[in-house]
Amino acid sequence: MGLIFMSEQQQYETWSIKKPPVVSEHGLVSSQHYIASNIGANVLREGGNAIDAAVAASLSIGAVEPWMSGLGGGGFMLVYVAAEDQVYAVDFGMIAPKNLNEADYPLVGGNASDLFGWPAVQDDRNLRGFPSIAVPGYVAGISAALQRFGTRSWVETITPALELAEDGMIADWYATLMISTAAKDLACFPESARVFLPSGYPPVGEWGAAPPRLKLGNLGKTLRRLHDAGPRDFYQGEIADSLLSELSEGGNKISGEDLKNYAATILPADMGTYRDATVHVAPGLTAGPSLLTALEQLGRYTPETAPDANAYMAYAESLDAAYSERFETMGHNDDSKAPSCTTHLCAVDRDGNFVALTQTLLSLFGSKVMLPGTGILMNNGIMWFDPRPERPNSIAAGRRPLSNMCPTIVTHDGQRTALGASGGRRIMPAVFQLLSFLVDYKMDVGTALAQPRIDVSGNEIINIDNKLITPIQKRLAEKFSILASQHGVYPSLFACPNLVSSPLTGGSQIGAAFIPSPWAKVAKPEA
């Protein structure tokens, strides 16, 4: 094995950025966009609880970073209800249409070029375009969570997102970067091209002027309809009719029955232990079970006072073992080649209720299809399936695919912490190491988030943060092929986590957001 280094010009930045942790007595919201975090914090200030704040922030982030998530996606949420001392999981993952025909995805040889490096399918129809779209669960999931655990009305909660969509998305430099990475595929679909590629290329503001705003097609109109008619309209109503008409025209197999019968599930979260910590994860086809497996492996290692070379070797070996089991029993056994468009947020309120929420379109801009009638960017959830037959996660009609989302709530050392990340297969390794930093080394959330990490997610070469000292790099190179690299604004090498934490007996709450992510923020209620 050995080390693989990037060139010095590529490898080292010449600046240092910081995002200090935020402390509050009245709740916190941490997300990948400051506007969404601020909206969630305003909900807390107005008396809403953590679930109200998380859902409002969740809806809003779909209007400010539509490539990440939105109405056409799905996700998983953990909710800790303080009055019950119970953690619940909300499953609103995508589902393959019941009329899907597996034969429509024939293998053509070679490997695909997207997230999982699956064997290539004819015309990449499992990756992009109408055949890649699965039944979206997002609206059902967040509305079910709000109804079950929230205190505010649907109308109140959706209003900030509605106003953002009607105003239009700020096309700042980061938005231009994201659009540019997907421009070739966005150009293949008329409404996507019209919205995101005005004049045929990504939006660039005029010199000396504020960034332009992009109207996200009819998304504002659709959110207004959801505001007035309620969330079921997405599955049985005017919005559903529009979706079905345009999906059918594009050749997708989602039916009225698929939409009508979709329901999010709410059930107790899975629970495991790691040393003296209690760890709650989403059950089923998520990365939660693999996280518990990796922690079980790591529990055989005795930590020192700080994460050293032996600790990082233990991380690498534990993750390697967990992914081997995941590949054998659950699927996802190929190289990860591109970032996902997942986003994660956390919330805690003054009463100690917590939310860890991960939502996604899967790939960047999902299927790349924006439906003109609704302005909804649709997921490419079919890509989650292994296109090879007779595999644990093979494409099948009506099946739920395996996902990498890993929202987590952990109780440890008199603290409760909600955490998670975006980043495809890189999510679970990030959550895993953050848990170790918190539990094994008693780090506060800010220190834990700034601690360099490695990524071991089933690839032949593992990525390590180049901030790790040379002895750690050399120790890992004894067993693994490693690539020493840095975080970038395009998050292709490491996951982007955020977390919030609170003492069990009351006191100051603390939250931290991923430092290199330009718009990530922890917000607290302002007086």
Q: How confident is the model at residue 335 (pLDDT cuts 50, 70, 90)?
A: very low
Mean pLDDT computed over 424-436: 93
Q: What is the pLDDT of residue 7?
A: 44
Active site residue 374: no
What strands lie across the sheet with 74-81, from one edge to the other? 265-268, 86-92, 74-81, 354-360, 343-349, 27-31, 521-523
Q: SS3 for 417?
A: strand
Q: Which residues is 415 bridged to in the sheet? A: 412, 503
Residues 6 or more apart whose CB falls under 8 angstroms from that of 350 comprise 25, 26, 27, 44
CA distance 90 to 492: 28
Q: What is the pLDDT of residue 100?
A: 96
Q: What is the pTM of this model?
A: 0.94
Start-to-end Cα distance in the chain: 56
b/e map 508-524, b = 16+ CB within 10 Å: ebbbbbbbebebbbbbb
CA distance 270 to 268: 7
331, pLDDT greater than 70: no
Q: What is the pLDDT of residue 333?
A: 41
258, pLDDT greater than 50: yes
Q: How far is CA 416 from the centre of its chain?
A: 21
Please write the tens of the pLDDT for every residue from 72-126: 999 999 999 999 999 999 999 999 999 999 999 999 877 766 556 678 999 999 9
Task: Choose, from 222, 342, 374, 408, the residue flagged as catalytic.
Answer: 342
Please write the tens of the pLDDT for every residue from 118-160: 789 999 999 999 999 999 999 999 999 999 999 999 999 999 9
Find the range with the poorest average confidence among 234-243, 327-336, 372-381.
327-336
Q: How confident is the model at residue 485 (pLDDT cuts 50, 70, 90)?
A: confident
Q: How confident is the model at residue 208 (pLDDT cuts 50, 70, 90)?
A: confident
Please write the tens of the pLDDT for every residue from 222-253: 999 999 999 999 999 999 999 999 999 999 99
Please write the tens of the pLDDT for every residue from 405-418: 999 999 999 999 99
Going by C-alpha positions, the residue among 179, 177, 181 that lies closest to residue 198 is 179
Q: What is the pLDDT of residue 486?
A: 79
Going by C-alpha positions, the residue among 435, 418, 420, 421 that lies closest to residue 501 is 418
Please write the tens of the pLDDT for every residue from 174-202: 999 999 999 999 999 999 999 999 989 99
Q: What percent of the chain has pLDDT over 70?
A: 92
Q: What is the pLDDT of residue 379?
A: 97
> What residues does each domain of the chain span?
2-7+20-168+215-515
Length of the chain: 527
Which CATH code of 3.40.1410.10, 1.20.1440.230, 3.40.50.2000, 3.60.20.40 fits the domain covering 2-7+20-168+215-515? 3.60.20.40
b/e map 356-390, b = 16+ CB within 10 Å: bbbbbbbbbbbbbbbbbbbbbbbbbbbbbbbbeee
